[in-house]
């Protein structure tokens, strides 16, 4: 068994304060026996609008915010997963100007030794519900999903708006993940909390995996962080709490038990491929 915690808070524009919040929540999770702690998308920096302030606050992966997070992972002896706005590296001379005005929305998994265990750069940008994330965010490349393993349980990474694209989670399940770690700043709005709960449970049920989903609390996020088991049951949940953790045990054995009853993955007739390729 591995204990997974989802941590919920409302990051602001003070990165040092956000790092202290991460450290406190990680300590609370460790006190509950957590082996893996998931924090929300944009845990490093959140402003009222996704604009130039995110670009200006962006850091490389070796920057001070992740250095502080790595020290937290080491001091608590756990895997720490959190969302940062990463300085975007230009792909060539023609992109220099564009990259100067963009950052990458990145989810980083740090091991108990403080080293990077896995990485995911958000593929689907939130250009919906009146927001245009793509104005300042560069989409991540389509690559094979990165995973990390804790005591035989395999974890995969995904971010916020990706939840509305079931093929993203399916690829992660195909990569061998038993648990999807989903970090989000799920914006509040009409029916948005219902969408969040419904889609989180659907991704767990259709892929027969656990989904641990950590969202920002209000005012920028809808909260409702939770851990959902492969049958779609929420085994831990935080509701609207502004600053809290909740944890649950996960196991590869439970995933296999559910798949023996519901062999949907092995019975399917279609595979997933990147759009426009092959």
Three-class SS of the chain: CEEEEEEECCCCCCHHHHHHHHHHHHHHHHHCCCCEEECCCCCCCCCCCCCHHHHHHCECCCCHHHHHHHHHHHHHCCEEEEEEEEECCCCCHHHHHHHHCCEEEEEEEECCCCCEEEEEECCCCCCCCCCCHHHCECCCCCCCCCEEEECCEEEEEEEHHHHHCHHHHHHHHHCCCCEEEEEECCCCCCCHHHHHHHHHHHHHHHHCCEEEEEECCCCCCCCCCEEECCCCCEEEECCCCCCEEEEEEECHHHHHHHHHHCCHHHHCCCCCCCCCCC
Q: What are phi and psi of 210, to 5 degrees?
A: -75, 150
53 Cβ contact partners less than 8 Å away, ≥ 6 residues apart: 13, 45, 47
Confidence at residue 95, expressed as pLDDT on a 0 to 100 scale: 52
d(CA 156, CA 165): 15
Confidence at residue 88, expressed as pLDDT on a 0 to 100 scale: 78
Query: Chunked in runs of 10, what are the mean pLDDT values of the chain (278 residues)?
Result: 98 98 98 98 97 97 98 98 87 52 97 98 95 95 96 98 97 98 96 97 98 97 98 97 98 98 96 73
Confidence at residue 93, expressed as pLDDT on a 0 to 100 scale: 46
Q: Token pair of 40, please?
A: 């929300």
Number of Cβ within a 10 Å radius of residue 49: 11
Q: Do 178 and 201 form a contact (C-beta atoms < 8 A)?
A: no
Please choose, from the candidates 102, 207, 137, 212, the residue with its C-alpha nearest in 3D space to the C-alpha of residue 165. Answer: 207
Confidence at residue 99, expressed as pLDDT on a 0 to 100 scale: 59
Confidence at residue 208, expressed as pLDDT on a 0 to 100 scale: 98
* Catalytic positions, written as ranges: 41, 122, 160
CATH second-level architecture of 2-267? 4-Layer Sandwich (3.60)
61 Cβ contact partners less than 8 Å away, ≥ 6 residues apart: 84, 86, 106, 108, 116, 119
Domain boundaries, the chain: 2-267
């Amino acid at each position: 068994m591995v204990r997974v915690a989802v941590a919920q808070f409302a990051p602001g524009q003070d990165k040092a304060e956000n790092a202290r919040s991460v450290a406190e929540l990680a300590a609370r999770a460790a006190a509950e026996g957590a082996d893996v702690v998931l924090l929300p998308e944009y845990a490093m920096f959140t402003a009222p609008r996704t604009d130039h302030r995110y670009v200006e606050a962006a850091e490389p992966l070796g920057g001070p915010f992740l250095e502080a997070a790595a020290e937290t992972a080491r001091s608590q002896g756990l895997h720490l997963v959190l969302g940062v706005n990463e300085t975007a590296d230009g792909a060539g001379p023609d992109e220099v100007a564009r990259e100067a005005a963009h950052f990458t929305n990145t989810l980083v998994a740090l091991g108990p030794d403080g080293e990077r265990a896995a990485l995911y750069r958000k593929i689907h940008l939130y250009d919906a519900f009146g927001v245009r994330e793509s104005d300042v965010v560069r989409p991540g490349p389509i690559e094979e999903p990165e995973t990390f393993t804790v005591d035989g349980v395999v974890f995969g990474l995904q971010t916020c708006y990706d939840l509305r694209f079931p093929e993203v989670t399916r690829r992660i399940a195909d990569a061998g993940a038993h648990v999807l770690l989903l970090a989000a700043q799920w914006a509040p709005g009409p029916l948005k909390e219902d969408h969040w709960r419904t889609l989180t449970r659907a991704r767990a049920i259709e892929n027969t995996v656990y989904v641990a989903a950590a969202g920002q609390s209000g005012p920028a996020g809808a909260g409702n962080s939770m851990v959902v088991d492969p049958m779609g049951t929420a085994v831990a949940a935080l509701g609207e709490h502004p600053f809290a953790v909740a944890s649950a045990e996960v196991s590869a054995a439970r995933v296999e038990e559910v798949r023996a009853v519901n062999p949907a993955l092995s019975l399917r007739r279609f595979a997933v491929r990147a759009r426009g390729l092959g």
